Amino acid sequence: MVTQTFEKRNRGEKILATSARAALLAALVMLGSLSSSREAAAGAGAAAAAAAADGAAGGGLAVCATNNGKALYDCVANVVDKLGGQLSSANMGSTRSALQTAASQLRAATNKAQALSAISQCRALISGALRQVRALGGKYVEGWGGGGGGGSGLQAIVGVLSHAARLIQSKG
């Protein structure tokens, strides 16, 4: 009788331990999928913000094309600053900081060389992060918001900066 009670308790503990392991595994799988979704959403959000910054709608770079000199630098600075402000995801902090620094340098620029330098420095930082994302197979790189799409958000931001550099080169 005592042996049967001991065996029942032992079986109950084994079932409880197995259930606890299964619940822990399920929780870890769910957390992993949420993390991937968040990264993909950050990349998609950055790509959408970059598309808006590149176009005429909402005062993008296309609107800046009507300006020259200091007015152009200020217009581009406003677009770059707005783009940085739209990167609300916590894992896009370094990208946002690089864009805000570029905007500040553009506002301070008094000639084409200074304006191009501000854009080039920012583009180099973000392009470096994009290379890291691609080297890791599109996985998230801390602080740069690589996203699940192989850095599509970063690529779009680099495209906006390239467009800004072309504008400054031709009209600055």
Cα distance between residue 147 and residue 132, in whole Å: 12
Cβ count within 10 A of residue 20? 10
Q: Indicate the pTM of the whole model.
A: 0.67
C-alpha span between 108 and 102 (Å, rounded):
10
pLDDT in tens, the chain (172 residues): 555 555 655 666 666 555 545 444 444 444 343 333 333 344 557 777 777 776 756 668 989 999 999 999 999 999 999 998 888 665 677 888 999 999 999 999 999 999 999 999 999 998 888 888 778 775 555 444 444 444 778 888 999 999 999 999 998 7
**Gap between the Cα atoms of 82 and 10, Å rounded:** 63
Instruction: Compute the chain's Rg from CA coordinates.
Output: 25
Distance CA 61, CA 57 (A): 9
